[in-house]
Structure 1
């Protein structure tokens, strides 16, 4: 799969494709239905499948820190789209210039000149261009004029409700990981490199692996039972996601304590699969109180694994 960053990196070889566009946050089962439409038409026409996404996502551009947290990080989204069998991803930087692009320029510069789209899959409520002036009807008219077809996306329902990134996000925030797995078509995970932290966990007698979050705001916050998959192992673990208010933390951190593992994991790629919510994150009066709570959390997590999830080693990273 090829990742193309920006219109300026499109080349002649990228012209002629079947495309769709959106945030694809989470690459959930509704998204997968759309991707299936794209892939089927691409196979029929003998053309590559292309997914157009934005970075940052438009709501993040407009709302900044008030935008809702993402379901998946950018690199995980790319990995999931690759696993869905998409040939190309075109990532457009959503900035003031793109925000000002007219609907006509969107058609001319992106769909025609940039990609030479032969078939375009979008929702019938899809709006595009400055002030959302473009719509499905405009796309159909442009398609008739310039030789490309337009198709509605197929709505995917679970329990008579349309699957959406918002529903996935709300489900995760409630800690309902069984429903989240139904919506996503897979367990909810966060993947990242283990990096050096403040070594606070080690000082408290509970060493942790800190997973690099970059700018990702996870929809979860609190303490969870998780699988940690790293260095060829799947290990029952406990995880804290949050800002660590007891030590005046400001940036979100994902910290994992792997049960009965005593080895350096720095630089390793770790996948964290969330299984069960234990408690919300909170501020403690001092480090001794925090240490006491952490050991209570570990006891509860071990008991939960003993009753629910017997550990079995698997192949890992």
Structure 2
């Protein structure tokens, strides 16, 4: 997959079949667009492309917004490549770009710079200043500029339209199963293993403390069943997102315990994939009660992997 960070310098004369948007999560709705793009590229011998943004437009438009995303930029690019996109135009959502009207955006960016021949957009997608660009504008301009336009329907699950917002809401409530169902894969979280308080080591449950990107959305505080990838090998694990109230903690930490694992992984970047929710954050009366709960969590984790 080729990444183009400066559209102004893009000189390829070959036409593109493309889509545009934030594609946060690259969820099943996004995947449906990508499937249509790939089908069209095969029949028309065009390259598939996506124009996406970084940072998120809401971060620029609402400077005080504490927006957390389903994907870091690296994760999103990996997913887009995995699903078969050939070119990604990575556009900074700056002042100049945000002031383009929908019509200017189509003319100056999609047609003049990117040589668009065919575009597929989501059922509710808008673009350009004041959301002036939409399917109707594309359809109207396609008659004059000779390109094709297609709009996808919402992808439904139990009559609910899948969206990045609904996935964020599911994660915020600890509903991992719904989030994963809407994503089409297990929600990932990557982080560098850093030194912690090492309490787990003293009670027989040594954990890896993860340093996570500040933009990444964490599920609600609590304990989770996870799959852990270390050096391309998968392991069973339990993960906690909490403030460690039992030992007087106040700041949020992300700690993962790998079952049947005793390697030194300090300084390594590992990836966890959320499988299920175990329980809310608990303040225990004693360390002994904490150990009892960890033993029960381990038993439930083992049972989960036996059944899946």
Fold equivalence (TM over 0.5): yes
Change (3 A) 1:198 1:289: farther
Q: For this pair of structures, how many residues does the alignment match?
A: 304
Q: Is the 8 A contact 1:4 1:89 kept in 2?
A: yes
Give the whole-Å Cα distance in 2 for the aligned partners of 1:299 and 1:263.
21
Give the whole-Å Cα distance in 1 for the aligned partners of 2:165 and 2:288.
36
Structure 1: 5+ residue runs without aligned partners? Answer: 313-317
Change (3 A) 1:22 1:243: farther
TM-score norm. by structure 1 comes to 0.84
Deviation at 1:262, TM superposition (A): 2.0
Give the whole-Å Cα distance in 2 for the aligned partners of 1:290 and 1:69.
34
3-state SS of paired residue (1:214) = coil
Q: Is the 8 A contact 1:236 1:311 kept in 2?
A: no
1:315 aligns with none
2:106 aligns with 107
2:299 aligned with 1:303? yes
3-state SS of paired residue (1:12) = coil
Structure 2: 5+ residue runs without aligned partners? Answer: none
Q: Is the 8 A contact 2:179 2:187 kept in 1?
A: yes
CA RMSD, aligned part only? 2.8
1:29 aligns with 28
1:216 aligns with 215
2:260 aligns with 260
State the 4+ residue runs in structure 1 displaced beyond 6 angstroms: none
Deviation at 1:244, TM superposition (A): 5.9
Of residues 193, 196, 202, the one that matches 2:194 is 196
Which string of whole-angstrom CA distances, capped at 9 and with x for unpartnered residues, describes residues 117-155 of structure 1?
A: 000111354322111222222222222222211111232
Please show how residues 1-16 of structure 1 align to structure 2 within 5 Å: 1-8=1-8, 10-13=9-12, 15-16=14-15
Change (3 A) 1:305 1:280: closer
3-state SS of paired residue (1:141) = helix
2:279 aligned with 1:279? yes
TM-score norm. by structure 2 comes to 0.86
Change (3 A) 1:268 1:94: same
Which string of whole-angstrom CA distances, capped at 9 and with x for unpartnered residues, describes residues 27-82 of structure 1?
A: 11111111111111122221110011111212233335645532222211111111
